[in-house]
Structure 1
Amino acid sequence: MDEPDYTIRLAQTSSSEPDFREAFDAAVEEHNETHQGSQKKPWTQARVDEVINEIKNGMDTFLSGLRRTAMEYYWMNKYEVITVDGEDQLIFKRSSPEDAVIRVLPREQYYDYLTEIHRSSEHGGRDKMLHCLKTKYYIPKKAVELFVSLCPKCHTKRNSINKDVLARQNYALKFNVRGLLDVIDYQICPDGYYQFVLNYQDDATKFLNLRPLKTNEASEILIELMKIFLTFGAPTILQVDNRHEFAEKLKEEVTALWPECRVVHKNTLAKGNNKEVEELLHSWMLQNNSTRWSVGCFVVQFETNDSVHKALGKSPYKSLFGCDPKVSLGVTNPAVLLSLHDVEITVKVEQEVESGENVPGLSSDEET
Structure 2
Amino acid sequence: MSESIELRFREEVLSRYEKCSKYLIPKDAYFQMIEDIRRASERKNTKSCHEYYLLSKYEVLQCGDVEKIIKKRQTLYETPVYYVSIEDTFDIVKRAHIAIGHGSRDRMTKELQVKYANIQPSDLIDVQSMSCTTFKWIMVYQDHLTKFCVLRPLTPKRAAEVAFQLADNFLLLGAPVIFQSDNGSEFTAQIITELRSLWHELSIVHGKPRHPQSQGSVERANGDIKDMLVAWMADNN
- The alpha-carbon deviation at position 163 of structure 1 amounts to 6.7
The equivalent of 2:145 in structure 1 is: none
The equivalent of 1:139 in structure 2 is: 119
The equivalent of 1:160 in structure 2 is: 138
Partner Cα separation in structure 2 for residue 127 and residue 148 of structure 1: 16
Partner Cα separation in structure 2 for residue 48 and residue 143 of structure 1: 18
Is the 1:103–1:136 Cα contact (8 Å) retained in structure 2? yes
After superposition, residues 134-213 of structure 1 pair within 5 angstroms as 134-137=113-116, 138-146=118-126, 149-150=129-130, 159-162=137-140, 167=182, 169=184
CA offset digits 1:108-160 (Å, max 9, x no partner): 1111112222222222121111122112123122111356753679x96x522
Partner Cα separation in structure 1 for residue 30 and residue 49 of structure 2: 18
Partner Cα separation in structure 1 for residue 40 and residue 183 of structure 2: 55
TM-score computed with the length of structure 1 as normaliser: 0.37
- The alpha-carbon deviation at position 18 of structure 1 amounts to 1.3
Residue 109 (structure 1) aligned with residue 88 (structure 2): yes
Is the 2:182–2:209 Cα contact (8 Å) retained in structure 1? no
Is the 1:27–1:146 Cα contact (8 Å) retained in structure 2? no
Over the residues paired in the alignment, what is the CA RMSD in angstroms?
3.5
Partner Cα separation in structure 2 for residue 140 and residue 54 of structure 1: 24
Unaligned runs of 5+ in 1: 1-15, 171-203, 207-309, 314-368
Q: 1:102 to 1:152 in 2, by over 3 A?
A: farther
Partner Cα separation in structure 2 for residue 120 and residue 151 of structure 1: 22
Q: Which amino acid aligns with 1:102?
A: V
Q: Which amino acid aligns with 1:75?
A: L
Q: Which amino acid aligns with 1:167?
A: D
- The alpha-carbon deviation at position 22 of structure 1 amounts to 1.5
After superposition, residues 15-164 of structure 1 pair within 5 angstroms as 16-33=1-18, 36=19, 40=22, 42-61=24-43, 64=44, 66-137=45-116, 138-146=118-126, 149-150=129-130, 159-162=137-140
Q: 1:20 to 1:145 in 2, by over 3 A?
A: closer
Q: Aligned residues: percent identity?
A: 19
The equivalent of 1:218 in structure 2 is: none
Is the 1:100–1:135 Cα contact (8 Å) retained in structure 2? no
TM-score computed with the length of structure 2 as normaliser: 0.55
Q: Which amino acid aligns with 1:57?
A: R
- SS at 1:57 equivalent: helix
- SS at 1:81 equivalent: strand
- SS at 2:77 equivalent: coil
CA offset digits 1:242-280 (Å, max 9, x no partner): xxxxxxxxxxxxxxxxxxxxxxxxxxxxxxxxxxxxxxx
Q: Which amino acid aligns with 1:77?
A: S
Q: Which amino acid aligns with 2:139?
A: I
Partner Cα separation in structure 2 for residue 100 and residue 168 of structure 1: 44
Q: 1:18 to 1:129 in 2, by over 3 A?
A: same
